[in-house]
Amino acid sequence: MVTLILKSLLIVFMANIVAADDDALNATRSAIKAMIENVADSSGHVYGAKDSKGRSMDCIKIIANPEVKGFIGVYHSYENGIAYSHMATADNVLGKWTWIRAIGGPGIQGANSSATQPTIAVAEDGGFAVAWEQEPVRHLKFSYYKNWDDLVSGHVSQQYDTPQTLSKCAEGTPHFYYASSTYLDVGHHFYNNCDTDREARGSL
């Protein structure tokens, strides 16, 4: 009887801890959500950002550059109805972004059509992994660069076009959970039944 009472008390105690943890987690989420949504009261913000060439920086993804000071941003912009993915650098994410080069689009790495939604990650074993949504058959395209100099010059060590496996209409909007020169853990979107955008995760 005593054992049963102790077990019951322990269950109630653990349930209270879980409930308290849930309350704390929800409070933290609410606070973060409020900060993200309250752009006007942020310590700094930029609307309609453009690179040094005057291009819009649509859907920019930003990482710190581990090899030199500052930040790397990848984004896409449209030129005469064609989307190119670009790369730029900045000392301050809210400051001037200096265009480096186009990383995807017609005439780049054998592509003949638009490249959108680029993303970038520092590889665990050195170098950089880059991915984007490549047309005309909307699919994921990946490139690996051994170091910063190769990324700037466009010298690709490895590249891969993934076949569509979840949608015959579109697979894209990639992001990296993990990246190395030999393994990628990737999240992305796919157009389920060609009418609903869904999320997926895969590796290669």
pLDDT at 16: 58
In a domain, 87, yes or no: yes
Same structural domain, 113 and 199? yes
Contact 74, 120 (CB under 8 A): yes
pLDDT at 72: 98
pLDDT at 17: 54
Same structural domain, 126 and 99? yes
In a domain, 121, yes or no: yes
In a domain, 51, yes or no: no
Among the listed residues 165, 63, 70, the one whose alpha carbon sits nearest the alpha carbon of residue 120: 63
In a domain, 164, yes or no: yes
Same structural domain, 109 and 185? yes
pLDDT at 117: 97
What Cα–Cα distance (Å) separates residue 151 from each residue in 33, 123, 144, 190? 34, 12, 8, 28
Q: Confirm whether pTM is higher than 0.85.
A: no
Residue whose entry in the numeric block shows the structure tokens 């047309």:
135
pLDDT at 6: 45
Same structural domain, 35 and 81? no
Same structural domain, 66 and 117? yes
pLDDT at 18: 55
Same structural domain, 99 and 153? yes
In a domain, 17, yes or no: yes
pLDDT at 12: 46
Same structural domain, 20 and 97? no
Q: What are phi and psi of 106, to 5 degrees?
A: -55, 130
pLDDT at 11: 53
pLDDT at 201: 97
User: For the chain, what is the domain count?
Assistant: 2
Q: What is the DSSP string of 94-109?
A: TSPBEEEEEEESTTST
What Cα–Cα distance (Å) separates residue 194 from each residue in 12, 108, 164, 188, 201? 48, 28, 13, 15, 18
Among the listed residues 136, 127, 183, 188, the one whose alpha carbon sits nearest the alpha carbon of residue 160: 183
Same structural domain, 93 and 152? yes
Same structural domain, 23 and 116? no
Same structural domain, 25 and 67? no
In a domain, 163, yes or no: yes
In a domain, 52, yes or no: no
Same structural domain, 34 and 84? no
Domain limits at 176? 58-203
Q: Which residues of the chain have pLDDT under 50?
A: 2-10, 12-13
Among the listed residues 115, 112, 89, 88, the one whose alpha carbon sits nearest the alpha carbon of residue 104: 115
Same structural domain, 19 and 112? no
In a domain, 157, yes or no: yes
